[in-house]
Structure 1
């Protein structure tokens, strides 16, 4: 039995190497997060949280193994044994404190994004106040550097023992690899695997295509031809939807029986939406959109409307939430940069109109009526209206976002703009 204590247990060996690879992967991913494309940032951040909690669980298991399972005695001079012990306990500290501070950051963020570990297991938020957020962020960032330093010291100490032909690394290897020259080959393979894990974390999400920036031309989804160019309306600075006026449609005597005319949207219009997230109201808008309008109140049969919306221009008052909306779980702007509404059937209803059309959004197309009111004064018109988008029919809000109890299925859309006859 005494001979068995000269080697680490099988569970200790498994946890040691699993944690080594996970920690280096996590370190690489954590340092790469700030440079990742916005289109993949949310997914990478979610994966970073999942790996962090896995490291926390395995680290606690490794700590229990160290405390309660027999292990080989430490070797070397007293000063070196003290240094080795300090490095080991430092590693336990960062392995456990790192995920916990990350959990605190997520739980106390201004926008509390839900976490599904590896897309499956919901992680609850810790019941802590917002005052914990900044200290946790500072400690979390420091832990990354501390982990890197401790890791280098740990590897340097292990290699020193190996070069001095001490059997320290061999005790942490499977029995079949615990004797030279197999041990030397295993050491090289282990070091290569650690380096590969770090770079895998750094580069895992960098291959994702970045969403088009405002300066890039946005292709029209599918095979729908491009709209005629029109100046993009500039929304008002407020992120809240503009109040919807309720003018009644009217036409001056000179507009009677007018044929269908093309209308050019003037700058200053708004295209906004309103929803609720976990009871918190969210007001958003789209900064860039264009419209091709062919309309006459006297010839609705030949009137038609088409609107293109640049989804990357979404703004909800929080940059992290905006990045989430642009990601694959919501709009998926990398694959579908535009939403498009088209209507060729416009009918009178009460004091306004209804445009029965189709909305193409996030790779899906569904019927959607848009109600609007209109005032025409010669060559100038004022329009405002509303619509309801059933987001789940378009696959907007996947996974943890698909619960209508968290985010309602029905999203209210409002718009207001002026236009001049061409």
Structure 2
């Protein structure tokens, strides 16, 4: 192997090269092993966006820090082949995540993207009008799928070329990209420049896109006119106001919900709600309770669930910012009380029994109650999961709290 006077790649270029390569290889495996696994599907999207951002930094870095020239003893045809393989990889490193992003943005399944379970990531806004368009979605899916095979082919050529030039008696290239392997015998790295531009630019791009859901959420908190009921759906009448005779202690009270997702139990609470309580133990027929819940305050330990609950096919917070529950038809039982809980949500009205216990000590009452609703009847998650494959239909609402008699 002849001596070389060419420089190695910069340390930043080497780090980005291997980080992106490892992520791409893992993505290829993940793409073949994520069917019917939402956690892996979310991870696939998370790594795809990571590759996109790192690739932007890699391109910017390359523009400001040109790579060392190819070995002088390489044949002209091999130099051209190497150049076009590199260009193809760079194009696909950016195009594949963009295609995946577009694929998600046009899917009729409105499953949010949450990067690594922590950062909400928006859909491509200019594709909103194409959501649910089967033809466009199929084209994007085909391009994304076939592109994966192209990148596999280019990776094979890239690795084969590097190995060939390292062990075929020519001036090798591996020593310029493998970090720290050749130590002092390797040619020096060129002085690096443009770190702030490359990484600052990619970080700014990431921050601007990641901020979009927050901006949309803040502007979406404004009052939005409720659209008219669609065909086959009745507009639920607003519940009548009541005159309360109890004051709820919200610090000692809670409304929570629970269900099953992918075979695992999940729970959540509503961080904000209000209740007008008119309850007369000696005159149950006169009793009534009206609870108002801002649906956007639903919170679970998992961000994906929180973003999903705010989405149009679930609570549709933008168009239906609140839900109401009216308790009526109170009756005493051997173990406590029952009432009919009528939930009005997204122009739907569903009634179900609420069983509760009530301990009244002087003027302080302590309540524990539970009711089960069917999300199918409430039109929740019926686009992405109408057959309850992922989320069970039954959702249990639990109420605990204290109130003081006026």
TM bracket (short chain)? 0.3 to 0.5
TM-score for the superposition, normalised by structure 1: 0.46
TM-score for the superposition, normalised by structure 2: 0.48
